[in-house]
Structure 1
Amino acid sequence: MPASRDSRQIDRSVTSFFNKWYKSMIELLEPWRWRDAKHSYAQAGEDLIVDFVVRAMQIDEVTYVDIGAHHPIQFSNTYLFYKRGFQGVLVEPDPELMASIRRVRPRDTCIEAGVGVQSATEARFFVMSTRTLNTFSEEEANRYEAMGTQRIEKVLPIPMVTLDQILAERFRDKAPTLVSIDVEGLDFEVLSTLDLGKRRPPIICVETLQYSETREEIKDTRIAQLMSDNDYFAYGDTYINTIFVDRVRWKSSGK
């Protein structure tokens, strides 16, 4: 015998009540489900490696210098720490990208300039069709274009500062917790200007892989040698970037 209209209404009411109850329980339990989850904003999890090192070294206050910041969140080695309430210095020469950085990360100090390897106060900046490949290296810009899928969209005159200038003005005699360098083709040169005898960041993250569209990438072994010569060791490597840690500070933090 077919169900009465009243019984169908009761069934719908019970189903509706159960669905609402189930949804409310899921919303209640969701934070517990994800309470141990870790989200990375970096290109290949570099920020999570840095975060682990920071905790292992018992560093309570995180500061940073992000050279070649590019984007306030995406592919950022420092946004995880900004989100936790820390702040630092972001250096980005592309005016359009810097506008976005200033809007999203107002607590950070933003420097719209390039980091130079000499005393020049201005340099030519090659803006590529893929903005992550922007570079001050004309050789790199031409190499990207020769691959066939990239092009130089424009060349801008950009003011230059030195890494030591930034550290002296923003950190005085101290060093930031993290220095992150991603400057497409000039990473070794910029890193070489850092006077590690004067200021020693506990953690330095550097792009050590040369970009290629044919999977024929080359690791810049000069960077690892430079860091080893200055008593830093490679704590982690994501193939794209290498995270170096001050050996003396690492050993002393475990005592």
Structure 2
Amino acid sequence: MDWKQKLLVSPLYDLFGKRSYAQSGEDLIAWGEFKNSINQKLKKSKLARGFYVDIGAYHPKLFSNTYLFYKKGWRGICVDPNPQMEKLYGQARPRDIFVNVGVGDGSKNQNQDEGGVMEYFMFEDGAANTFSAEQARKNQKEAGRKLVGKRIVDVLPLREILEKYIPKGQKIVLLSVDAEGMDVEVLKSNDWKKYRPELIICEDLEFDFKNWKKSEVTKYLVAKGYELKAKTPYSLIFKRVE
């Protein structure tokens, strides 16, 4: 089943009890980790009021690492540079805040204190959209995906987005990052002294078990006080230890 077919039948998943909405079960792994350990650190009343931040959120349900949490009563901030997603989030996930920008440091823009603009590569399969020229090349040459356009998109650091949109005093339980080759750049744009999620789901397309210490995502998050808890075909799941 290709992505178009999945998009058409996704409403049926709700009716017939689809348990995982993520690409490879990342949401179930993260939910299990939350229930088994992290929730013991938090008040039980927060179980239905947890807060997530979803970077590269794409569709509100299809391939979503956070929709399962939304169904369980959570809410959060969903960020994606694809303008077509804003209306869908308003309809499917009205509790969430949707922010239509890219995330990273970008190139400086005189009209912004931080961030800037970057070229955004858009594919027929919107899940493959990326800011990475190298990833765009791989999408076309190696995966046979069709490039349908490019556009210049505003880019903000993660720290600035969180500063602007997170409710005062709100704790981030889950951070999901799926930036199609720009994941480390997204992570580096956070203020880790101020914003320290309990769990992180991060895409890492280059991860190799034999040389896992070479993973830039892993090296960066371990240095920030996280440990690798699980690996799916496309993502790594980390838990805060400090």
Q: TM-score range by the shorter chain?
A: 0.7 to 0.9
SS at match of 1:88: strand
> What is the SS of the residue equivalent to 1:125?
strand
Shift of 1:116: 2.0
Residue 148 of structure 1, CA deviation: 6.3
Partner of 1:179: 175
Choose from 27, 37, 42 the match for 2:22: 42
Q: Gapped runs of 5+ residues in structure 1? A: 1-33, 212-217, 249-255
SS at match of 1:166: helix
| 1:146/1:229 CA distance change after superposition, 3 Å | same
Q: Measure, in 2, the Cα distance between the counterparts of 1:132 and 1:104.
A: 18
TM-score by length of 1: 0.75
Give, in whole Å, the separation in 2 of the partners of 1:239 and 1:80: 19
Moved more, 169-178 or 74-83: 169-178
Cα deviation per residue 1:136-160 (whole Å; 9 max; x = unaligned)? 1122212222226112211112222
Residue 127 of structure 1, aligned match among 122, 142, 148: 122
Q: Deviations over 1:44-98 (max 9, x none)?
A: 1111111112112114231011011111111111101111221100001111233
- Structure of larger gyration radius: 1
How many Å separate the matches in 1 of 2:227 and 2:143?
37
Tell me which of 215, 229, 235 is aligned to 1:235. Answer: 229
Q: Distance in 2 between matches of 1:120 and 1:164?
A: 10
Kept in 2: contact 1:174–1:199 (CA 8 A): no
1:227 Cα deviation from its structure 2 partner: 1.2
Where do 5+ consecutive residues of structure 2 fail to align? 1-15, 107-113
Distance 1:38 1:154, change over 3 A: closer
Letter in 1 for 2:196: R
TM-score, with structure 2 as normaliser: 0.78
CA contact (8 A) 2:206 2:215 kept: no
Describe how 1:79-98 pairs up with structure 2 within 5 A: 79-98=67-86
Superposition RMSD in Å: 2.3
Taking structure 1 as reference, are residues 235 and 38 closer, same or farther at Cα in structure 2, changes over 3 Å only?
farther
Q: Is the contact between residue 205 and residue 243 of structure 1 (CA under 8 Å) also seen in structure 2?
A: yes
Q: Does 1:244 align with 2:242?
A: no
Moved more, 65-74 or 230-239: 230-239
**Aligned-partner Cα distance in 2 for 1:38–1:127:** 29
**Equivalent position to 1:149, from 137, 144, 148:** 144
Aligned: 1:136 with 2:147:
no
Separation (CA, whole Å) in 1 of partners of 2:206 and 2:85: 22
The answer for the alignment partner of 1:215 in structure 2 is none
**Aligned-pair identity (%):** 33
